[in-house]
Structure 1
């Protein structure tokens, strides 16, 4: 079996992991909406889905079409970073519980989570996304995909983090007012 097939298998596993995230996210969104949650920043979400799908497709396509080699000194380090990014992502999901979502949903009455990775970083899930987006293609030297995704993702995260920060401020202000209503 060639390294290209093994890499394709790795990307398929990451794709399956992403589908599992979407199942969890859908369940959490239903929970949030049932408690009066309101979604923010819907317009950038389809772009995020396309970009993350393009990462997976682009990495595999580049490896096969450009005949990118597996370079062990790079590939094994990048694989370690991919695994670490998955561990960080699932730590974030587990820490936030029902509050974790791929969308930005403000639920009245909830408090901000400041434990686990959120006690150290304001947006640890995005650290996982950035590391994975760079490392996954570089497992098999798909440097064009790594570069394009990283630049496009930086632009997207600029928008996403602004939306999320505004939502977090909204949650904090709702939690701080005696009636739970905005002050």
Structure 2
């Protein structure tokens, strides 16, 4: 039974991701009309596959391996997943039309330094990292958590470099 509830959770996260993509597509159109330039696009397909793989991996591992439900781990990891969602949407709100799943900089706009961006440079990636290990661990999917975390670390090195370079170029 807990596998079914976990599958519902993964489904809800998938729906949330689709909402993000709708917001990102709308914001991309807004940015391009204002002269926005995309950079770092070479890694984007890998990012899409990795994040899709996270959700699929959670389901496959939990159903194929019958990982078991450990209440203390489950509830603490669910709390982290929810906190990551709050942080992610705080980032979306703080960036407004500038938020995107792609790296797009619109010339002439001021760099956002409020909201969670006053606390750290890349708070959205903090949310991604936390969710990346916590979501699988809600139902003991250790392998998925480990594989995603390692691959995501490599991706974030590339992505943060690309984003920092784009921001430096725009706000130098």
TM range (shorter): over 0.9
Correspondences of 1:30-179 after superposition (within 5 Å): 30-173=29-172
Return the alpha-carbon distance in structure 2 between the equivalents of residues 3 and 82 of structure 1.
17
Question: Over residues 49-105 of structure 1, what are the superposed CA-to-partner deviations in whole Å (9 max), with x where a residue is unaligned?
Answer: 000000000001000000110100100000000000000000000000000000001
Match in the other structure for 1:23: 22
Helix, strand or coil: the match of 1:31? helix
Return the alpha-carbon distance in structure 2 between the equivalents of residues 111 and 167 of structure 1.
14
Where do 5+ consecutive residues of structure 1 fail to align?
Answer: 174-183
8 Å Cα contact 1:106-1:170 kept in structure 2:
no
Question: Over residues 88-146 of structure 1, what are the superposed CA-to-partner deviations in whole Å (9 max), with x where a residue is unaligned?
Answer: 00000000000000000121101111100000010000000000000000000000000
Helix, strand or coil: the match of 1:108? coil
Where do 5+ consecutive residues of structure 2 fail to align?
Answer: none
Return the alpha-carbon distance in structure 1 between the equivalents of residues 120 and 7 of structure 2.
32
Tell me how large the CA RMSD over aligned residues is.
0.4
Q: Which runs of 4+ in 1 moved over 2 A?
A: none
Helix, strand or coil: the match of 2:151? helix
Match in the other structure for 1:177: none
Q: CA deviation at 1:170?
A: 1.4
Q: CA deviation at 1:171?
A: 1.8
Question: Over residues 136-174 of structure 1, what are the superposed CA-to-partner deviations in whole Å (9 max), with x where a residue is unaligned?
Answer: 00000000000000000000000000000001111212x
